[in-house]
Structure 1
Amino acid sequence: MTDTTHPIRIGVQLQPQHADYAQMRDAVRRAEDAGVDVLFNWDHFFPLSGDPDGKHYECWTMLGAWAEQTERVQIGALVSCNSYRNPDLLADMARTVDHISGGRLILGIGAGWFAKDYEQFGYEFGTAGSRIADLGEALPRIKARLAAGNPAPTREIPVLIGGGGEKKTLRLVAEHADVWHSFGDVDTLTRKSAILDEHGAAVGRDTAALVERSVGVGAPPEEVGDKLLDAGATLFTIGTSGPDYDLTLVEQWVRWRDERR
């Protein structure tokens, strides 16, 4: 069923790889001018595609720059890795970027998965289970630190959690998230969305109404847009990499959104 609780929004993930920063800055300008709703980067230390040792930039430093450069779009990481920063520090970074942006930050977070980042930067990789457990311990600390900040955040910063683990990750989404970023096709989204709502019922939270469904898309909207919308997704994010940052597909999705608003 089409979600009528949340508006249809289009995001773009400007992958911070294989570019000079001037090219990224230009892509940020073009994306905001194109009418996107949300501008994401990602939280890695090395490229995820192409030359594995190619040009790359750090996530949160960049978000501070985007907060100054942009005027309208929401900004955030898709997603910030919980392992890379003390949770209280991450919360204070988020509070600061929230103020710089005038209240436009989405705090995207996940358990982490890219082994090279951990190995090269000296973090303990652990196991998928230990990383999810660490995320579960971090989320209340993040919320407590945000609440203790002076000045306080400009508003309650929305938390986006990325991941699809049905027993543990979706439970954390049900407990803590305002946005859930999912991976997979329409059938996967439908099935896992239902599981999320089961977790929501178990923790006493109406996730069907309170948790926005976000999904990454790589196909034109005429192929998948209405199907994903009917499955409950309302935030659609297109990834694009340097050095060119082609926004052709992004512009198609923006037009599709405008036709349905």
Structure 2
Amino acid sequence: MSADAIILQRGASHQVARIFIYVCLILFAVVYLMPLLVVVLTSVKDLDDIRNGSILSLPQRVTFEPWRQAWSEACIGLRCAGLRDFFINSVVMIVPAVAISTAVGAINGYALTQWKFRGADLIFAILLFGVFIPFQIILIPMARTLGAIGVANTMVGLIAVHVVYGIPFTTLFFRNFFLSLPLDLVKAARVDGAGFYQTLWRIILPISVPCFVVSIIWQFTNIWNDFIFGTTFTSGENVPVTVALNNVVNTTTGVKAYNVDMASVIMTALPTLAIYVFAGRYFLRGLMAGSIKG
């Protein structure tokens, strides 16, 4: 067999392998996205359209009335005011929880790597242990603690829970990222007379944007999607939107409005979906930025 024939044969085999890979990827994507397609289609159908068609049939008439009902009229228990107030609860909760846990994690990671002190490795090991503690174990101790300090069944208490549970993760992210930075940066700042926070603010933080993106996306996703902390430590009008979504789906008055339920699901998932669509590539870059050392 000539060299040209061998080259052509190898090229053909590579082409077949590439086509096979693409077919598999497309198949997996279709299977993965099928539930989302069902939810979206159902959310823009009226009840007659849902009864007369299949779950994958296109709507005869697109309507956003289920979305309006989900936002402002859906019944949650005896209260029929929609998800609006509970969506606001989640926003009020997530902004300080993400900001505080990320800020504390940045300071911890900086202190444990660039400003070494005696016992730093032991403290990091203790913090790292918190990453592996199942959150089911801490429910009762945390509930007793929140009651003892007077913030049980409040948004402040729920924010505190997410901050405490998130600090081990954010500390791990920043510690691994800061290990990849040259120590000469901090040493030069010390020689110039910069202190702990001055060095952190002027030298370290400006080059730590990738790690901040990772921490913010991670915390935002975990806190927004949380259900067990919200349903355990809050009740009534203080619950986040994920708990309210569960109550919408489980509340039935008359005919079951599947279109309203599906619209509620999409509304609840939109913030995390949006943050991954617009910042997903920065999340991957940030993960890789701290993967060289540590």
Q: TM-score, normalised by structure 1?
A: 0.24
Larger strand proportion, structure 1 or 2? 1
**Greater relative contact order (Cα < 8 A, sep 6+):** 2
Q: TM-score, normalised by structure 2?
A: 0.22
Larger helix proportion, structure 1 or 2? 2
In our comparison, the structure showing a higher alpha carbon Rg is 2
